[in-house]
C-alpha cells in the first residue's frame, strides 16, 4: 500500500523526499533529483522526467498521483478513505479503480478532483533513421542502475546487454536455461560475458517447475486473473527464481519492446496491455523493483518521430545490435 490512513508509506518508495510540508515518493527510478520547492511545480517536474516510475505526493489533504506515460507499473486507487496501491490484494479488486498511463490524478480530502494527461505525444515524422533513437536509448541507459540485468537471446534484453557489453559496465547477468531460446545466440552472448568484462558475473539457473508455494503467494493477489496477465505459470516460476537471486534493489528487464516497437510481430499489444501486474507482484515478493529501459518516455518519443515507412521495415533493436556487432537473430526462438 503506497497511501493509507492519510499517510504515504515511506518504506514502499525507492526515493522519498520532504520539501517543507510536501512529501514526495517515487516508486522505481527517475533520471534527476527532485528539485521542486512548491506543490505547483510538481506537474512540470514530472513532464521533464525520464525513467521508470510512479510518483505520489502529499501536501496537507491534497494528494497527487502521477503514472508513467507508458504504464511501466500498474497502480490502483479507491475512494473509500482514499487508498493507493500498486496491487489490490485479498480479492478486493472490485473496490479498486485501475489507473491509466500518462495521467496526473489530483485528490483533495479523499475526493478525486481532476484527471489530466501528463505529456502529449508528438507524432511529427522528422527522421529517416534511428540515430536519435540510439542516442535517447543510451542516454536513458546511462542514468539507469545496471547492477543486475536479465539475459535472453531476444532483441529487447539484447539491446540492454549490448549497451552494457559495449561500455564494460560491472553487472550481474541473470538467465534461465530454456529450450525455447535461440541456443546459438544465447551461447554467443554468454561467451562475450565470459571473455569480456572481468568484473561482471553470469548467473545461470535451470527452468523452474511450477511450485505450490508460488500458487499460495499468488492467492494473496487477485490481479493474476486480470485479462492483461497472460504469462503462464512457468514464466512466473522462472521470473521468481531470477528475482530471488538479485542482491541490488533493481533488476533491468526488456519489457515493452514487442508492445511498442514491432510492427510485424503476432504478439504486439498496446502498452497498457503489458503484464506489469505480475512483475509488480514478483517485485513485491522479493523487494526488488523491476525497471524497463525500453519504456523510456524520451526513447519512445524519438521512435515516434522516425518516418513510419522506415519504422515498418527496420527494427531499431536489430540495427543497434548490428552496429555494435552484438549477436542477434531475427527470431528469438530456436527453430527445430
Angle, helix 183-195 to helix 155-167, in steps of 10 degrees: 20
| pLDDT value at 285 more than 80 | yes
| pLDDT value at 43 more than 80 | yes
Task: Work out the mean pLDDT of the chain and round it to a whole number.
Answer: 87
Instruction: Lowest mean pLDDT of 48-62, 186-200, 268-282, 313-327, name the range.
Output: 268-282
**pLDDT attached to residue 224:** 47
Please state, for a pLDDT cut of 70, what percent of the chain lies above it: 89
Q: Do domains 3-117 and 131-323 have the same CATH topology?
A: no
Which tens digits make up the pLDDT trace of 147-163? 999 999 999 999 999 99
Architecture (CATH level 2) of domain 131-323: 3-Layer(aba) Sandwich (3.40)
φ and ψ at residue 202, rounded to 5 degrees: -120, 125
**pLDDT attached to residue 141:** 96
Instruction: Lowest mean pLDDT of 82-96, 100-114, 278-292, name the range.
Output: 82-96
Grid coordinates standing for 50?
525520464
Show Cβ contacts of residue 284 under 8 Å, excluding neighbours closer than 6 positions: 86, 87
CATH number for the region 3-117 comes to 3.60.20.10
**pLDDT attached to residue 196:** 74
| CA–CA distance, 200 with 4 (Å, rounded to integer) | 41
Closest CA to 302 of 285, 316, 283, 284: 316
Give whichever of 230-244, 261-275, 290-304 has the largest mean pLDDT.
290-304
Which tens digits make up the pLDDT trace of 234-269? 788 889 999 999 988 999 999 988 888 976 555 555
Q: Where residue 272 falls among pLDDT bands split at 50, 70, 90?
A: low
CB under 8 Å, gap of 24 or more: what pairs does 160-165 form?
160/252, 160/254, 160/293, 160/294, 161/189, 161/326, 162/320, 162/321, 162/324, 162/326, 163/137, 163/138, 164/200, 165/192, 165/193, 165/196, 165/197, 165/324, 165/326
Q: Where residue 336 falls among pLDDT bands split at 50, 70, 90?
A: very low
**Domain limits of the chain?**
3-117, 131-323
**pLDDT attached to residue 222:** 60
| pLDDT value at 223 more than 60 | no
What does the pLDDT average to over 109-132?
94
Amino acid at each position: 500500500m503506497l497511501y493509507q490512513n492519510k499517510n504515504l508509506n515511506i518504506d514502499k518508495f525507492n526515493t522519498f523526499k520532504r520539501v517543507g510540508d510536501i512529501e514526495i515518493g517515487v516508486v522505481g527510478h527517475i533520471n534527476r533529483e527532485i528539485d521542486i520547492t512548491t506543490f505547483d511545480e510538481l506537474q512540470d517536474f514530472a513532464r521533464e522526467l525520464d525513467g521508470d516510475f510512479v510518483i505520489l505526493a502529499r501536501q496537507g489533504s491534497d494528494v497527487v498521483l502521477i503514472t508513467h506515460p507508458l504504464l511501466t507499473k500498474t497502480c490502483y486507487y479507491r475512494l473509500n478513505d482514499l487508498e493507493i496501491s500498486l496491487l489490490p490484494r485479498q480479492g478486493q479488486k472490485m473496490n479498486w479503480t485501475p489507473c491509466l498511463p500518462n495521467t496526473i490524478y489530483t485528490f483533495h480530502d479523499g475526493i478525486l478532483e481532476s484527471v489530466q494527461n501528463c505529456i502529449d505525444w508528438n507524432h511529427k515524422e522528422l527522421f529517416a533513421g534511428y540515430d536519435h533513437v540510439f542516442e535517447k536509448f543510451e542516454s536513458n541507459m546511462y542514468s539507469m542502475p545496471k547492477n543486475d540485468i536479465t539475459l535472453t537471446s531476444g532483441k529487447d534484453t539484447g539491446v540492454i546487454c549490448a549497451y552494457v557489453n559495449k561500455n564494460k559496465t560491472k553487472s550481474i547477468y541473470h538467465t534461465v536455461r530454456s529450450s525455447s531460446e535461440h541456443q546459438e545466440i544465447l551461447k554467443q552472448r554468454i561467451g562475450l560475458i565470459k571473455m569480456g568484462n572481468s568484473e561482471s558475473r553470469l548467473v545461470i539457473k535451470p527452468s523452474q517447475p511450477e511450485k505450490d508455494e508460488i500458487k499460495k503467494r499468488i492467492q494473496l493477489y487477485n490481479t493474476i486473473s486480470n485479462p492483461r496477465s497472460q504469462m503462464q505459470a512457468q514464466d512466473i516460476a522462472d521470473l521468481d527464481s531470477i528475482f530471488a537471486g538479485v542482491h541490488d534493489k533493481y533488476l533491468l528487464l526488456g519489457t515493452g519492446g514487442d508492445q511498442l516497437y514491432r510492427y510485424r510481430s503476432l504478439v504486439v499489444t498496446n502498452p497498457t496491455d503489458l503484464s506489469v501486474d505480475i512483475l509488480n507482484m514478483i517485485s513485491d515478493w522479493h523487494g526488488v523493483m523491476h525497471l524497463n529501459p525500453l519504456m523510456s518516455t524520451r526513447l519512445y518519443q524519438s521512435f515516434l518521430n522516425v518516418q513510419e515507412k522506415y519504422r515498418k521495415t527496420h527494427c531499431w533493436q536489430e540495427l543497434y545490435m548490428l552496429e555494435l556487432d552484438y549477436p542477434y537473430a531475427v527470431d528469438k526462438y530456436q527453430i527445430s
